[in-house]
Structure 1
Amino acid sequence: MKPVVGTTPRVVRSEQEWRAQLSPEEYAVLREAGTERPFVGEYTDTKTTGAYECRACGAELFRSDTKFESHCGWPSFFDPAESDAVLLREDRTLGMRRIEVLCASCHSHLGHVFEGEGYDTPTDQRYCINSISLKLVPAEAE
């Protein structure tokens, strides 16, 4: 994975440590910027209330109240949990120009963000995130 220019991750592990912690599928997406197949992810259609954390380091990334149905095959959010929860970086792989979304805490790959697609959301952004990059922590019942 290319380093994010100008930032230092708060969570640092060697690639051997990441491989020991993550499954091969998780490692391929989180550390090698892979993509899971559409419509198969654990959280694609989840409606559970709670917080979505980075599967690699546990940092809170998104909240269920910003998740929306985009029918794209991956969980979609219109805003991160905090303004500094994620980092954005230009991605020119696959002959396209996209904006990659990374966990600000450990710099693991999460997915991509798209703008101007016409979704009725407060930000007109779609953070298209791999389910395998996330861990849902359900809200406690009151």
Structure 2
Amino acid sequence: MEKVKMNFVEKDHKFEITVDNKEWEKRLGPTRYFICREAGTERPFTGEYNDHTEKGVYYSAATLEPLFDSKDKFESGCGWPSFTKPITENAVLYREDHSHGMHRIEVLDAKSGSHLGHVFNDGPEPTGLRYCINSAALIFVKEGESKPEFNPY
């Protein structure tokens, strides 16, 4: 089984991209701000990329950094886009999450610390992991197309 290296950070970790909340809200808009900056979540089966099957790359809505490749996406039945691994081991960071009376591992955009979703150990081969990611935290770019030059949100 392929091993994924998880780089954990503490709550006070300093991220490369830091802007104030008003600027994040302006860049992301209300829904993406809630998901990415307030660690919100979409209702299951409502996200744009839940049933999405095109080939391409999923970028961070906050930083436009590549996060996941469509070849690593799978149908988990959980109601959110699911991936077996990030596009590179440095694309995301991890943090212990004890909210809502549960113990989970939060997945963060490595550049900004924006909330993406959570990772669970009930995924398929090759990693055995399920990265359960909010569609609103992602921007998809179809294979052969260029990523946006600026954040359109």
TM above 0.5: yes
Give 1:8 deviation, angstroms.
Answer: 2.7
Look up the match of 1:103.
Answer: 109
The answer on 1:122 being equivalent to 2:135 is no
Q: Structure 2: where are the runs of 5+ without partners?
A: 1-8, 146-153
**3-state secondary structure, aligned to 1:122:** coil
Please give the alpha-carbon distance, in whole angstroms, between the structure 2 residues aligned to 1:37 and 1:70.
Answer: 15
Please give the alpha-carbon distance, in whole angstroms, between the structure 2 residues aligned to 1:97 and 1:7.
Answer: 20
Percent identity between matched residues is 49
Give 1:7 deviation, angstroms.
Answer: 4.0
Residues paired across the two proteins, number:
136
Match of 2:24 among 9, 13, 18: 18
Look up the match of 1:134.
Answer: 138
Q: Structure 1: where are the runs of 5+ without partners?
A: none
Letter in 2 for 1:128: C
Give 1:10 deviation, angstroms.
Answer: 1.9
Matches within 5 A, 1:1-142: 4-5=9-10, 7-115=13-121, 117=122, 119-140=123-144
Please give the alpha-carbon distance, in whole angstroms, between the structure 2 residues aligned to 1:76 and 1:134.
Answer: 12
Please give the alpha-carbon distance, in whole angstroms, between the structure 2 residues aligned to 1:133 and 1:120.
Answer: 23
Please give the TM-score of this superposition, normalised by the length of structure 2. Answer: 0.85
Runs of 4+ off more than 3 Å:
none
When the two chains are superposed, the root-mean-square deviation of aligned CA atoms in Å is 1.3
**3-state secondary structure, aligned to 2:24:** helix
Contact 2:84–2:124 (Cα < 8 Å) also in 1: no
Deviations 1:27-59 (A, max 9, x none): 111000000100010000111100100001101
